[in-house]
Chains A and B, each alone.
Chain A
């Protein structure tokens, strides 16, 4: 525990019930899927059957003439718009123009009086294609005779989120390249006492937000108004401003409750398309994708990683080198940032003096890849944390002790140029190890693993907010942070209630309406509690400063004579609460005080990352030798969150993330056969269910108040995912003696590995 005593908090650090609890358990919470506008039409999308093809012609005349159809929109109808969007690379047309780049790409949209009519009319659109050669893996995309997906040079997006150059659109299928280098890797490997080396594969996965992508657009001469299930409404606004060539003030994104995001709803998805539909149909249009269509919209980048790691004779890690090829699919989306992040995240959270990581993502004729919870980190933590165990085994050390000896220490600048490490991995690992009984005897066929991850989180620090204190003492927070389920509508009012000394129940949240709520860059990278939480804290304090001045005016005393107390002010005998200060100041029991704050890359937020997101997980698994099926016996999560503003919500993030990570470790994988995604439905894509629940689960938090956020808080919610696949692979090795380097560890894969081991009598 931290030596510093925690102050006695009134509201924060308490598991207060969720603010959105009642509306969510009674079915009253409104999602975009539930909204209707007067005069609204419905769109359906025609998708390409080919992975790579020229569009020779589109004849939509029969569909347009179909009763109930308002219009059909194709790539030929976009004159007057800038149809290519993308915050990193403007490579993505809102509908295919001249060619299609993956099977499932949107080619045309029908706008009709209802969904069924729109769906019927899709069949009446006649598209003629000329098929082209296609590539589906990075290796194929790099081949000399590989067809080029994108022929033209791209404009780099203004908000790509990293400082490096964009590599895309330079005459090859390379989407983005990135590398980091320090020390002398070649020399270190020459002098190493032991080295492990291997090839690893992290699969394509689908986030399955249960609410599939949905948006309603109303484009008029007043501007573009959109309701969308989007994590980052301000980023989407930026793309739409460019598509429609409008000032920011004429683009409005409104985000009500969101039915799951996990990164898959970050950045622009279907909003430009539905806006173009409304623009052409001249009425509000709703586009609700099916889950099958959502699976054809965004996935995670799969990654092929070659990695080697070296130790010296003292068991100190001295070098790591990796080459990564990521499969970004047909469009860049957020993959350039995923590339940068996965490069960085090969290192952490270890202090390694010699590092060389080279990463390259390639365009292929598959579903575009983008953000997915922990983006980039899980892909490289599979090799990273696997090699820690492999090395420990090679030098005869306990992998848990080996981690402790090499993990970055609090305050250590283990990544040159970045913020010193702000977590306590020793405590994280200790807690995880204890929770799963690391040193207790293991049953036959069982194996344990503890693993950790530390990722450069928080994205770019640009966040603003307004906290309005009303004359009755109640409070409204205006925030651009989106409630995805993570609990921002609960955590942010906890902070305001703590600062202003008002009841939690009296603090309301208005969120995610770009016309009303102040700018917030994004809701992702675990940033909201740290950045928006700090903004709410500072805006609350700024409101208090104003109310102190007002109180001095009311009491006719000097400002210096006013003393703040919880929920109000005191001056001598006189004591006023905020309601009295405001009412007396305005001489009317109404009116308000507006506290403001903005956070930028400055002061305590000048060092990046905003914080290191650290967590440990512990697992115990058993393997059925006959079938290769892995059973999760125990799972422990340890979130190193600085201070949990709401411990129940913080733990909920960890177990949710760990369960997604477990799914990828055990069975989740999008599978391509040739040009087609063959398991593109929830019938075929295996997800964690109740029956996959580990037999025992323990959730822990480490709270050393060592973050830059409010009261020492840091973000959580991604890190418990990152280490799970490696942890499961490590535990399987300890249980069976087989090392599997490709996730997921399906029964078939495990069974084959066991069979090979029995034949060869050694590790595969």
Chain B
């Protein structure tokens, strides 16, 4: 035993200096971020260093933060040192206009599909990936559905003729009288301004 968050932090700062930033420990898991061009260097260091030995890639996914200018997409790696049983979380941020990130498939075979999934849903371009194509969605899809600009359908929308599925059925049946004049912007777009 003995690998503590403090030691990991010191080692990283020693090696990469100021580049590694945003150290936090939410619920005890050491979390930090690095510039995106360093991701592979940091991962390799974490993998190879005899004291750190983070050789198990638990999880890889992306998160979209539309309000962070030029840092819209975060790629999150969860790494695990199985010997010492320590987990860490490592993030890099990429601009959505050019989300190029180096692939980790050279280090972890498991990254292959996880990166494909991340590409599929967020459009993160993993440079050097052997087979970067969609995995869960259809190949013809031309957008990245988990980005925040694609909201899920508003469940209260009333323009859809979905009576059989319990939606939209109340239109024109008198149930919607109290809603007059209280149309949301989205509904206005769908049904126009006329009174329903």
A and B form one complex: no
